[in-house]
Chain A
């Protein structure tokens, strides 16, 4: 008996070391990646700007308060100048962040709502269901997304909700593939077999075991869907079949700005810069998260 009591502390000792969760290591890897961290901070600032837009600027995005100063260059009163319709351009850009991020975020949510259950079920059930899902995804990969989105946007004639749904139609497959791969690799693990042996229903296994184990691909898929949707919105709005005026959208502002570019450069520079910075920040953040969660994918 005495032997046992003396042996116990020795055995217990390794357990005294704090267990680190995979999320902890992911966070460590993420913060070590300077570019992704900077991108995250920039994106956070833009998100805060979008949320607190009415606090940052007092004028409304569609108020034509400065008609007599139309097309004025940037000044102390109008940081980004005034646009052709007498609206404060800084206000337009700040509210544009709302549209761009709002669409990016909502589209990512919808992509997740479709892609997650489909990916999880396809990965878990395999067989016919998997085959059908994969063929559908293959169909989506034969048509260039931007082109098909153009077609869908002409069918719907644009509008915020149409754009969100279109972006989700082309965003779900990435989430689906990521989740499917993860679920497939977990399907054969012992704890799943144990759950099956205990008589758990497939739905229970997917919901309680497989999806919680797919948190990292889900987060990565979600974050990477945001810049794609923003890009789509900007591209469609640029062609005039996206978000309709007067709702401020950066893509649309670039389209208008093009016509003024040669003299009133501020009309093109600011929306271009805003869009470039936001999309770049969002994708760098997504790439950083992907590398943090799955270091084996780094540099792909």
Chain B
């Protein structure tokens, strides 16, 4: 088990380093630098001095090593759009709305999705099964910003039940939370249904029924436990969905979170902020999958890939 985890961690680190190099190179291949904007024409020598202070005149590999060394110390540099603070302090005050709304979105969406998927699996081809598959298809195919537009139009513009946007009083959170909840809801509705069906069709279920266990015992003590393993393992992936979704949800609902900063960093060519956010999300992504893999190995001893104790 330890060997498995160590190997997974090493492969994750290698992939992450490669990804960070690619991101770094891509950010530096963007034509135009921070001081090329037409609103701020600078004389060449001033520009050169500014580039030197920011370390932008060094060879690329050195810039990369210096950058990653800083990253290890949580120093992501200074955002060009607000030179008065550091990237990390900007992130420190922007994470709260994103994490609150995204977290609540998962908390609302995932359990509902699991319930829906379970009900669909237990009552196949009934109305609830059709609802579950409709929800799953809609949530997984339609982009988040379409869902957000729909929510605003229906609940804020026509029904006038909730305010449409902003951050602050919890009443304004309702719609963004629903928008965030769409993806976990849809994913779990589909996933819970298929894992439950898989488990229900295993031979041991017939044995348990033949043994005379009540249907309730069969489902809650045996089927559910087996179906829970894959359901737990996709849970970390939800955070990744939330991170990507936040870009659109926050743009739509005007929430001052990390996603909103991501968009502004793109529009303002703010390399340090954009790179920091990209790296953080890639790290979140890799760590989520690492956790998912480890959870899977821990929960399901049959799948311990090589090296593990037999």
Q: Which of A44-52, A90-98, A254-262 contacts B (4 or more CB under 8 A)?
A: A254-262
Measured CA separation A138–B16 after assembly (Å): 11
Measured CA separation A259–B248 after assembly (Å): 15
Measured CA separation A131–B146 after assembly (Å): 39
A143 within 8 A of B: yes
Most A Cβ at <10 Å: residue of B15, B149, B150, B243: B149
* A252 smallest CB distance to B (angstroms): 12
Nearest B-chain residue to A268, judged by Cβ: B149
**Of B27, B152, B267, which contacts A240 at CB under 8 A?**
B267
**Of A152, A234, A287, A300, which contacts B143 at CB under 8 A?**
A234
Known contacts A138-B15, A139-B18, A154-B266; decide if A147 and B142 are in contact (CB<8 Å).
no
Q: Which chain A residues lie closer than 8 Å to B80 at the CB level?
A: none
A268 and B153 form a contact (CB under 8 A): yes
Known contacts A146-B244, A147-B281, A254-B145; decide if A280 and B138 are in contact (CB<8 Å).
yes
B145 and A238 form a contact (CB under 8 A): yes
Known contacts A151-B26, A262-B164; decide if A144 and B244 are in contact (CB<8 Å).
yes
What does the 1/0 interface line of A135-170 toward B look like (CB < 8 Å)?
000110011101100111011000000000000000
Q: Which chain B residues lie closer than 8 Å to A276 at the CB level?
A: 142, 146, 150
B63 within 8 A of A: no
A111 within 8 A of B: no
A227 and B164 form a contact (CB under 8 A): no
A272 and B138 form a contact (CB under 8 A): no
Known contacts A280-B138, A284-B137; decide if A258 and B29 are in contact (CB<8 Å).
no
Q: List which B268-298 residues lie within 8 A (CB) of chain A.
A: 269, 274, 278, 281-282, 285-286, 289
Known contacts A261-B157, A272-B146; decide if A143 and B285 are in contact (CB<8 Å).
yes
B40 within 8 A of A: no
Q: Which chain B residues lie closer than 8 Å to A241 at the CB level?
A: 266
In this complex, the interface size class of chain B, counting residues with CB under 8 Å from chain A, is: 35 or more
Q: Which chain A residues lie closer than 8 Å to B252 at the CB level?
A: 258
A41 within 8 A of B: no
B142 and A280 form a contact (CB under 8 A): yes
Measured CA separation A235–B245 after assembly (Å): 11
Q: Which chain A residues lie closer than 8 Å to B18 at the CB level?
A: 139
A150 and B282 form a contact (CB under 8 A): no
What does the 1/0 interface line of B134-156 toward A look like (CB < 8 Å)?
00011001110110011011000
A272 and B157 form a contact (CB under 8 A): no
Q: Which chain B residues lie closer than 8 Å to A143 at the CB level?
A: 19, 23, 282, 285
Nearest A-chain residue to B269, judged by Cβ: A154
* A61 smallest CB distance to B (angstroms): 21
Measured CA separation A235–B152 after assembly (Å): 18
In this complex, the interface size class of chain A, counting residues with CB under 8 Å from chain B, is: 35 or more
Known contacts A152-B26, A235-B143; decide if A262 and B138 are in contact (CB<8 Å).
no
B153 and A261 form a contact (CB under 8 A): yes
* A46 smallest CB distance to B (angstroms): 15
A142 and B285 form a contact (CB under 8 A): yes
A258 and B143 form a contact (CB under 8 A): no
A279 within 8 A of B: yes
* B264 smallest CB distance to A (angstroms): 11
Measured CA separation A276–B149 after assembly (Å): 11
* B250 smallest CB distance to A (angstroms): 11
A279 and B142 form a contact (CB under 8 A): yes
B143 and A144 form a contact (CB under 8 A): no
Our count of residue pairs bridging A and B at CB distance below 8 angstroms stands at: 109
A279 and B150 form a contact (CB under 8 A): no
Q: Which chain A residues lie closer than 8 Å to B138 at the CB level?
A: 280
Q: Which chain A residues lie closer than 8 Å to B29 at the CB level?
A: 155
Q: Which chain A residues lie closer than 8 Å to B269 at the CB level?
A: 154
B26 and A279 form a contact (CB under 8 A): no
A275 within 8 A of B: yes
B141 and A235 form a contact (CB under 8 A): no
Measured CA separation A129–B292 after assembly (Å): 28
A283 and B247 form a contact (CB under 8 A): no
Measured CA separation A152–B22 after assembly (Å): 11
A269 within 8 A of B: yes
What does the 1/0 interface line of A259-300 toward B look like (CB < 8 Å)?
001100100110010011001100110010000000000011
A299 and B286 form a contact (CB under 8 A): no
Q: Which chain A residues lie closer than 8 Å to B149 at the CB level?
A: 254, 257-258, 261, 268, 272
Known contacts A142-B16, A142-B285, A147-B244; decide if A272 and B164 are in contact (CB<8 Å).
no
Nearest A-chain residue to B140, judged by Cβ: A283
Known contacts A155-B29, A227-B141; decide if A254 and B146 are in contact (CB<8 Å).
yes
* B236 smallest CB distance to A (angstroms): 13
Nearest A-chain residue to B254, judged by Cβ: A258
The 14 sampled A-B contact pairs (Cβ below 8 Å) are A142-B289, A147-B278, A154-B269, A155-B29, A155-B30, A235-B248, A240-B267, A258-B149, A261-B152, A268-B153, A272-B146, A276-B142, A279-B142, A280-B137
Task: Give 6 nearest A-B pairs by CB, closest first.
Answer: A283-B141, A272-B149, A154-B266, A144-B244, A155-B30, A146-B244
Known: A142-B286, A154-B266, A239-B251. 15 other contacts (CB 8 A): A139-B15, A146-B247, A151-B26, A151-B278, A234-B145, A254-B149, A257-B149, A261-B152, A262-B157, A262-B164, A265-B157, A272-B149, A276-B150, A279-B142, A299-B194
Chain B contacts to A: CB under 8 angstroms: 15-16, 18-19, 22-23, 26-27, 29-31, 137-138, 141-143, 145-146, 149-150, 152-153, 157-158, 164, 193-194, 197, 240, 243-244, 247-248, 251-252, 262-263, 266-267, 269, 274, 278, 281-282, 285-286, 289
